[in-house]
Every structure is written in C-alpha cells, then in structure tokens.
Structure 1
Amino acid sequence: MATETATKTYSKIQLLTLNGPEYRRVSTAPPRAPLANEIPLIDLGQIDGDLAARKEIAQNIRLAAENTGFFYVYNHGISPDLIRNALHQAQAFFDQPINAKEKVSRRKYENFQGYHGVGTTQINDTETKDNKETFSIRYDESNDPLHANSPTQPTSSSRSLDELWTGVSHLPGFRTATVEFWQQRLNLARKLVRILALALDLEESYFDDVITHPGADALYIHYPGVVDPSDSANVDVGIGSHTDIQCFTLLWQDNSGGLQVLSNEGEWIDAKPIEGTFVVNIADFLQRLSNNRFKSTVHRVYNRQTASRYSMPFFLGFNADSVCSVVPTCVDEEHPPLYEPISCGKWHHDRLALASLKKT
C-alpha cells in the first residue's frame, strides 16, 4: 500500500534474504537521472600504474561503494572489437528457433549454466516473471589464463561445459568469442579486487588467495521488445528488483536503456548506457565482508521499447571453499562484526537454493 511523505508517495518492495523477507521504501515517482555522485564515471587508465595511481582509483571507488554501490568504469582495457564480436555471437544465439536454443537448456547442466527461456526465471516473486532469456557459462579452470600452464584433471563441471560447447558448435566463432570475453573480464575483475582491497584500507594482495578459482559467471541476456510500451500495467519487468549475490558485477549494456538503481532516498534512478563503459555494482557478499560499509543496492531492468535489448553481465565471487570473515579494517569497538564467517560457495549456494525453494 502506498504511503505519503510530504508531497512524495511511496510504496514498498520485498526482497528475499536468508533471514527472511526484507522491505525497501520506493518512491512511486518516475525514474530520474542520477546525481553526479550517485553513479560516478571512474577512469581505470592507471589501474596498472604505480601504487599512488591505484590508490587514487581506490579512493574514487570507495566513495561510490559507500554511496549507491554503482559506478561506471572506462579505459578498462577490453577491446571494443571483442565486445562487438561477443554481442554479435549473443544475437546469433538468441536469433535461433526455440528448439535449437533448448538443445543447451540449463536443465541438462550443472550450476544453472546453459539456456534459460523467456519467463522461466522470477528473481522477485512479488513482481512479474522476468521477461528475458539468457545463455550462461560458469568458471572453468581450463579457460583461466592464471592456470594456463597447469595440468588439470577434468571435473564434472568442465565435462558439463564441454557438452555445452558441443551444443553451440554450429555457431561459427561462438565459443572462441565467448571464452575470450569471459577471460578479459576475469582479468579486469582480478585487478578490481586488488583496488577494492585498497579501498577497504587493506593491503592490495589481501584477497589474492581467494580469487585463484573464483566464482566467475558470464551471461548473455536478451530482453524481447514489448508490443505496446505505453501499456505500463501489462508490461512485465525485464528483470525484477533485486541485489546481486556475490562480490561485484561487471555489466556491458547496449544503448537501449532500462537499467534502474534504487537511490539512498528510495527513488529509482536511470543508469543510462555510456559508450565505452562497464557498469560496476557492489554485491551482497562484499557488503557482508565490509560490514555494510559498501552498499549492495537494489536494481532492476524495465525494457520499455519495441526493439530487443541486450546486456552481458559478469559476476565475480571468491573461491567457493574459502571461508571469509568481515575484514579487520571494518571492525572496531563501535562497529562489531555483523556477520559470521562463511564461504562464498555456501553463500552462493544457499541464496540460489532459497530462490529455487520459493518457486516450488
């Protein structure tokens, strides 16, 4: 039920957590443009520079992470040609007939990888089903440049991923472009983890041991166009209101718009596309490790156009078996740890299991 504060009207949204439902106040006003400090633009051109340069980047990211937890990055080092090629491959995959896409249905593979059809997910069960389809891959050590020269034994996960690639082998260049784009984002994510350590007043190597075999999930997402964008009552959400699960997300989005972020005042703000950038957002596990210092902020996608929208997110989490505690720089007498130690793998598993349980 909507309530009024001064001249503004608010409602509530419900979020699913391991401690039960949580509620956030949300303005019913139309989305607005962000203020300069709400989703800032951060230059990563000196991310490989000296320590002083990296600390300057860390300071800018710290301010963003403590505000909305969302920011854009540019000069990130990932080739525009590679991004365009990955987008071309995503479009080629989704342009296939449904029976071709279902050959790599996520029901055949581990860890939710593979194809999810339109309307098969509902990230927020108090809103409509998600009006999107996805193709996803998970971490595979054989694709990780960090372990390029290390002999590895095939795991059930890597065997499952090989079967997945077989199912898309008829698409020329699909596997090559998808893996290379995954590798480049993993490389960037590892650099950002070191910057985030500096932003938390830690040694930049603090998290190195927990990103050797990280959770590194990559998706292609297609949001079909809507027939009548003006009919807001009957237009489903592209993806419902939620926070991300792991440490942070790197998102490439096309020029369609539709990504909206909940401000600290409970207003939806538009995270409009900016050419040459990724959107980065803090996720739940990093908020947990920072003792709520860094913000994992609610966001959603509303596709309000007749044309398709495409995005390509990459989700970074720590090693599944690494048990992590609130970092020491975020704890003192006035700020005791709010969370018990937990492994990133258990955290991720329990959150996904909770979402699955709610659907049954």
Structure 2
Amino acid sequence: MAQYTQVELLTLHGPVFRRVSTAPPRPATDDEIPIIDLSTIDGDFEARKNIASKIKSAAENIGFFYIKNHGIENELIERALESAQAFFGQTNEQKGQAHDRYRGVGSTQINKKETKDRKETFFVPYNAAYDPTVANPATTSHDEKYLHSGNDSFWEGTDHIPAFKKTTIEFWQHRLTLARKMIRIFALALDMPENYFDEVITRPGADGLYIHYPGLPEIVPVDTETDVGIGSHTDIQCITLLWQDMSGGLQVLSANDEWLDARPIPGTLVVNIGDFLQRLSNNRFKSTVHRVYNRQSTSRYSMPFFLGFNPDSVCQVVPSCIDDEHPALYEPITCGKWHRDRMALAQGKLSWQESDYKSS
C-alpha cells in the first residue's frame, strides 16, 4: 500500500501542506513533462498558436515542460558553464569578493522544514544597460536594485576570470530575448492577443543565476534522505528557464503526489510556471513544487533564468480566466511588491501574519 508524508510550504497566505508519496522518485514520462519544439516560434501566427496550445496543456497539467530548438546556441551555453565553473572553482575568499552577488553553501534555506540548501550561487539581476531593447538605459524608472549591475563595481572579484563578464552578459541577453518570446506564447495560451503582456516586460525582473551543487564525499543511495541541494519550493515570478547539466537531481511533484525525475535531455531547457503567473491565470496554470538533490560525488551545475514583469506595473487576473463561475481570486498587485514580499518572507524579514495577502 502506498505511503505518504507531507511537505510544508510557507506562503504569503500562511503555511500550505502538500501530500507526498514516500516512494523513490520515478522517471517522468513524455506525457507528464513533455518536450515542446520551438523551431517555428519565429514563424507565422498559426505556428505560434500551435506552440501555444501545447504549452497551455503542459501549464494546466503540471506546470513543467522542456523546450528544444530554443535558439540559444550550445557554444554560448558551454562558455557560460565554463564561466560558472571558473567562478565556483575559486577559494571562498575569492568568491566572497563578489559580495551580495554570491551566496555560499548552506547560506540559504528555501524550505524551513528541510535542511539548509547545499548549493552556492552567483546572481545577475535585470539591468537596462544590457537590455537589447532599451535605446536609452538612463530613462528607466527601476529602483537601484535593478540598476547596479551596470556599474563596474558590480563585477568586482570576477575581472581576473577570462571573458566572465562578457559571457555572462551575453548569456543573460539571449535568455531575456527567449523569455520575452515565451511570454507572448503564454499570452496566446491564455486566449489573449500575443502582445497582451508586452507593456509589462519592457523593464522586467530578469534574474540570471549560476548554481553549483557540490558533490557528496561518497555516492548515496537514491532512497536515502541527504541534505537537499535546494529544498521543496515553488518559484516566485512568472516563468523560469533552466539549463541543467547531465547530473540529474531535479525532482517535480506530480498531481498524483509523486516525485518525478525531470531528467536532463541534451539540447533542451526546462521551463516551469512561477507563482505570479499562476496568480494572473486565476490558478489555471500550475506553479509546481520542485526540489534538487545531488547525491553524486561530482559537482552539479545549473543555470536558471527567472522572468518577472516590470516591478512597478500593476497586474491583475487575465480577463480570459474570469467568468461567472470563476471570479477573480486575486487583487491587482505589482510584480515588484509580490517579489519583494516573497523574498522578505523567505529571509525571515516578514511573517505571513504581517502580510497583505491573508484575504486573497
């Protein structure tokens, strides 16, 4: 007989509990986490509608899918990976020179009921100076948090790594371009004009990370509970684009309460829905619980890209997701406030009892 436990997720509405099978993670089938071909994303409208219908199905069922033929050259991905490896291969003292862009192993704990996260990260936020669509970055209205990566001081501690800044910015730019194309497809998937979200992605929250999960001293059996690489959680913003190496370790919680292995597939990125897009879709699209374990003796590297909307743009539930039987479940809010409050909650600077979301 199947046995279950539960995971606790701390949200701005209060604790949420999910039932979880105690069985070991199993491989996901192609139907559960589908592979979607983007080779026609720059084609005609009907081609984009066809992609949107496939993404809509995945977004409503599990909130995770792979994309192939996404337009980011493997050569650039390999250069970005080499940059990440060079950065994380430094001493702790050298990495610490990156100040607030670097977080060391065990410095975060995304799920307070699980272990500290066994990972280290390097972080690059949105910057208008690097945005290919911005003609005059000085006109941006973002607060300083979204501007400081344009300063040379932002890259302190990395200038001795060959081409680190150049490659990191180039990879960030290509992922931003892809994410904007994806958001237009998501608009179609929500039965809206494809330019519906255009005005709220002009200066978006767009955070690129390098992540290193150190290997364990010895290989650990798959059914052994070890320190999590990153604990059970849902992503905060709209969508995540993830490149992962071939180590494995990403696990997705299915609608049937099973952990599924989101296995690495060469040439693909993993895409998943974040909480803010679930909110805007009136819960039609699923922001799914996931986690990472690295039970190998070797390092695991991943490079996620988190896209949110303009921090100062007020967003509301999409009209196509509302009718007499499905009234809007959420009040309008800026993506910036949503992101700041979620980060404050994660860092213990805000309790859900103090939040403005209890009646949402």
Q: After the TM superposition, which residues 187-206 of structure 1 pair with which residues of structure 2 at under 5 Å, given as runs?
A: 187-206=177-196
Equivalent residue number for residue 150 of structure 1:
136
Specify the alignment match of 1:16 in structure 2: 10
- Alignment-derived partner of residue 134 in structure 1: 121
Q: Distance in 1 between matches of 2:66 and 2:174?
A: 17
1:93-119 per-residue CA deviation (whole Å, 9 max, x = no partner) reads 00001100001121xxxxxxx000000
1:234 Cα deviation from its structure 2 partner:
6.3
Distance 1:358 1:264, change over 3 A: farther
Aligned partner of 1:4 in structure 2 is none
Q: 1:206 to 1:131 in 2, by over 3 A?
A: same
Alignment deviations for residues 204-251 of structure 1 (CA, whole Å, 9 cap, x no partner): 000000000000000000000011332665620000000000001000
* Cα shift at 1:34: 1.2
Matched, 1:216 2:206: yes
Equivalent position amino acid for 2:283 in 1: N
Q: Kindly indicate whether the alpha-carbon contact (under 8 Å) linking 1:133 and 1:223 is maintained by their aligned counterparts in 2.
A: yes
Q: Which moved more, 1:230-239 or 1:325-334?
A: 230-239
Which residue number corresponds to residue 290 of structure 2? 299
- The 8 Å contact of residues 71 and 280 in structure 1, kept in 2 or not, is answered as yes
Which residue does the alignment assign to 1:338? 329
Residue 304 of structure 1, CA deviation: 1.0
Structure 2: 5+ residue runs without aligned partners? 352-360
Counterpart of 1:152 in structure 2: which amino acid? A
Q: Structure 1 160/313 Cα, relative in aligned 2: closer, same or farther at 3 Å?
A: closer
Give yes or no for the alignment of 1:310 onto 2:301.
yes
Which whole-Å CA distance do the structure 1 matches of 2:205 and 2:7 have between them? 28
The structure-2 alpha-carbon separation of the partners of 1:22 and 1:126, relative to structure 1 and needing over 3 Å to count, comes to same
Counterpart for residue 160 of structure 2: 170
Assess if the C-alpha contact under 8 Å between 1:226 and 1:235 holds in 2: no
Distance 2:331 2:224 in 1: 42
What is the percentage of aligned positions where both structures have the same residue? 63
Q: 1:267 aligns with which of 258, 279, 286?
A: 258
Aligned pair in 2 of structure 1 residues 35, 160: CA closer, same or farther (>3 Å)? closer
User: 2 CA distance for matches of 1:151 and 1:80?
Assistant: 29
Q: Pick from 171, 175, 180: which aligns with 1:181? A: 171
Give 1:150 deviation, angstroms. 1.8
Higher mean C-alpha deviation, range 321-330 or range 166-175: 166-175
CA distance in 2, matches of 1:23, 1:332: 28
Query: What SS does structure 2 have at the residue aligned with 1:99?
Result: helix
- In the alignment, the residues of structure 1 paired with residue 299 and residue 315 of structure 2 have an alpha-carbon distance, to the nearest angstrom, of 40
Q: Is the Cα contact below 8 Å between 1:229 and 1:235 reproduced in 2?
A: no
1:44–1:160 Cα change, 3 Å? closer
Query: Structure 1 residues 234 and 34 mapped into 2: Cα distance closer, same or farther (>3 Å)?
Result: closer
Question: Cα RMSD (Å) of the superposition?
Answer: 1.5
1:238 aligns with one of 222, 229, 232: 229
- How far did residue 36 of structure 1 move? 2.4
Equivalent of 1:249 in 240, 246, 250: 240
- 2:114 maps to 1:122: no
**Structure 1: tracts of 5 or more residues without a match:** 1-6, 107-113
Pairing 1:56-71 to 2, within 5 Å after superposition: 56-71=50-65
Q: Which residue of 1 aligns with 2:249?
A: 258
Which amino acid counterpart does residue 120 of structure 1 have in structure 2? S
Q: TM-score, normalised by structure 2?
A: 0.93
Q: Provide the C-alpha distance between the structure 1 equivalents of 2:200 and 2:283, rounded to a whole number of angstroms.
A: 20
Q: Secondary structure at the match of 1:87?
A: helix
Q: Which moved more, 1:29-38 or 1:258-267?
A: 29-38
Counterpart residue identity of residue 292, structure 1: N
Counterpart secondary structure, 1:280? strand
Per-residue deviation at 1:38? Answer: 1.3
For the residue of structure 1 that corresponds to 2:24, the secondary structure is coil
SS of the residue corresponding to residue 145 of structure 1 reads coil
Deviation at 1:166, TM superposition (A): 3.0
- Normalised TM-score (structure 1): 0.93
Q: Write the letter of the residue equivalent to 1:219.
A: L
Q: Per-residue displacement from partner, 1:162-191 (whole Å, max 9, x unpaired)?
A: 212133111110000000000000000000
Structural mapping, 1:73-88, within 5 Å? 73-88=67-82
Equivalent in the alignment of 1:325 = 316
* Distance across 2 between alignment mates of 1:136 and 1:359: 22
**2:245, 2:302 within 8 Å by CA — same for their partners in 1?**
yes
